[in-house]
Amino acid sequence: MNIPAWPYAKTIAHRGAGKLAPENTLAAIRLGVAHGYRAAEIDVKLSGDGTLLLMHDDTTNRCSDGRGRVAAKTWHQLALLDAGSWHSKDYAGEPIPTYWRVAKFCIASGVTLNTEIKPCIGRERETGAAVALETQALFTDPAHAALKPLLSSFSTEALIAARDAAPEFDRAHLFDSPLPADWLARCKTVGAIAMDANWRTLTQDIVNVAHANGLRVACYTCNDPDSAEKLWGWGVDTIITDAVSLIPFRA
Ligand code: G3P
Ligand code: MG
């Protein structure tokens, strides 16, 4: 079976620059760029009133000075939060960014996004469609075609909604550990060109099965350079990493 084109880097900076800066902020993506990274993974979800923003968790508790569910807050309320002080004093006052602002920065800086659709529970379809449509609006200029984001999600439902709203963007189906028995079928259901697994669940056999079935293989979150070499040796196409200072960027 033919293997699809894979215009994505071999290394992608997890949540921006992972742990070196507050995750899912512009500061984190800038730090990744300062380390030579030209690809960033981000987690995107909807505010209560429909703005797409970067946040991993369903609540603001861990990564800001706010409390409560993202889905219960307006964008205006979220925009007032400090998403940097929880990490360190150097980042005090860093705001939660919108997806729009981050994508504009990435277009201007030559950074390709891996946009993970991270819906709050119960908002899978809505979030998948919103991410796909906003990505479409951001990438209408043919000059930016080379920077088109890869859309990914753990949610099959969100990926189906993204496919239906904007089929032109590549999709990767994320899987938790342990890898579910139906991973191949779920990739096919959403028309994914890649499976994206926890790196510890991967084996040479799984990589071979994916490739034999016309799927690329990405994995998260590998922070050990020796393990990264082993994964590339198996033919893994992309590694998502926090370790932007240990694992040099590979286009
Ligand atoms: O997209 C890969 C990775 O980010 C998935 O896990 O929990 O860090 O979003 P998580
Ligand atoms: Mg993620």
The whole-chain average pLDDT of the chain stands at 97
Q: What does the pLDDT look like over 116-130, one tens digit per residue? A: 999 999 999 999 999
Q: What does the pLDDT look like over 108-162, one tens digit per residue? A: 999 999 999 999 999 999 999 999 999 999 999 999 999 999 999 999 999 999 9
Residue 23, domain member (yes or no) = yes
Q: What is the pLDDT of residue 206?
A: 98
Q: What is the mean pLDDT of residues 26-50?
A: 98
Q: Is the pLDDT of residue 1 over 90?
A: no
Block residue for tokens 């899978």: 124
56 catalytic per annotation:
yes
Give the distance (Å) from ligand 1 centre to CA of residue 179.
15
Q: What does the pLDDT look like over 196-225, one tens digit per residue? A: 999 999 999 999 999 999 999 999 999 999
Catalytic site residue from 35, 56, 144, 211: 56
Output the residue whose Cα is nearest ligand 1's atom 6.
220
Task: Give the pLDDT band of residue 173 (cuts 50, 70, 90).
Answer: very high
* 84 and 27 Cβ atoms separated by less than 8 Å: yes
Picking from 57, 97, 102, the residue whose alpha carbon sits closest to that of residue 78 is 97
Output the residue whose Cα is nearest ligand 1's atom 7.
56
Q: What is the pLDDT of residue 67?
A: 98
**Beta pairing, strands 171-175 & 150-153:** parallel
Residue 117, domain member (yes or no) = yes
CB proximity list for 197: less than 8 A, separation 6 or greater? 174, 175, 177, 179, 183, 206, 217, 218, 219, 220
Ligand 1 atom closest to Cα of residue 41: 1
* 196 and 152 Cβ atoms separated by less than 8 Å: yes
Give the distance (Å) from ligand 2 centre to CA of residue 198.
11
Q: What is the pLDDT of residue 18?
A: 80
pLDDT above 70 as % of the chain: 100
Residue 249, domain member (yes or no) = no
Residue 105, domain member (yes or no) = yes
Task: Tell me the β-bridge partners of 148.
Answer: none
The Cα-based distances of 45 to 82, 221, 249 in angstroms read 18, 20, 27
Residue 208, domain member (yes or no) = yes
Q: What is the mean pLDDT of residues 77-94?
A: 98
- CATH number of the domain residue 147 falls in: 3.20.20.190
Residue 3, domain member (yes or no) = no
Report residue 3 as tokens.
């293997």
Does ligand 1 have an atom closer than 6 angstroms to the CB of 14?
yes
Integer Cα distance of 75 and 91 in angstroms: 21
Q: Domain count of the chain?
A: 1
pTM above 0.95, yes or no: yes
Q: Where are the beta strands (DSSP E) in 140-180?
A: 150-153, 171-175
Residue 128, domain member (yes or no) = yes
For 15, the domain range is: 11-58+97-241
Integer Cα distance of 46 and 62 in angstroms: 17
Output the residue whose Cα is nearest ligand 1's atom 3.
220
Residue 39, domain member (yes or no) = yes
Q: What is the mean pLDDT of residues 95-100?
A: 98
